[in-house]
Amino acid sequence: MARANRGILYVDEVNLLDDHLVDVLLDSAASGWNTVEREGISIRHPARFVLVGSGNPEEGELRPQLLDRFGMSVEVRTVRDPEQRVQVVEQRSEFDADPQGFLSQHQAEQDALQAKLVAAQELLPKVTLDYDTRVQISQVCSDLDIDGLRGDLVANRAVKALTALEGRTEATVEDLQRVITLCLRHRLRKDPLESVDSGSKVMKTFCAVFGLAEPSEQTGQQTIALTNGRR
């Protein structure tokens, strides 16, 4: 966590973490500091990071306290298209054969993405989201009976971030529709025997509050697949 300070901390199989490690992550996420107490050692260091985790919900549930710390949740599905699967396999083989050459081949794309992110960070303070839309976001969270205000905060931040990433300064309802499921689906109250909701409940409530027609199931799946999430 010291190395991840002011950076990204990625946790694989985050739902299988031991309880004491979950407690450490929760304390650090809340305070921005990590304290290490061992025999003869007492260290306290800053630990402010973007937390990214992955895992299979079928292998074990994530503790609600930690799950709430993730701003956005993305459902990742296995690629079904044969041509895309072949492309993934071939690119992996190219990387294994010549890692540096593969990285060099895609460096221009990486530089362009980095420049786009930097531009979005500079534009973000200028992005606006009108008051009525903010009220409706909170109405969606209230109707879904979501605990706390993190859902409201993340949804407001996410729609502004998406708008800035696309080089605009005025967030729209259409922008919000693209991110609202990612911000709220993992915050829903659910039966202990149920898995994480697919997002249909969030989208149904969103459309009801904003007076929109519900998208087809296929459209909803595409939105999940194409939208990136962050804490």
Catalytic residues: 150
Helix (H) or strand (E) holding 12: strand 7-12
Q: For residue 6, what are the CA distances in angstroms to 9, 23, 73, 160?
A: 9, 20, 21, 21
Burial of 124 (0-12, 13-18, 19+ CB in 10 A): middle
Name the residue with tokens 């729609």.
159
Buried b (16+ CB within 10 A) or exposed e, 180-210: bbbbbbbbbeeeeeeeebebeebbebbeebb
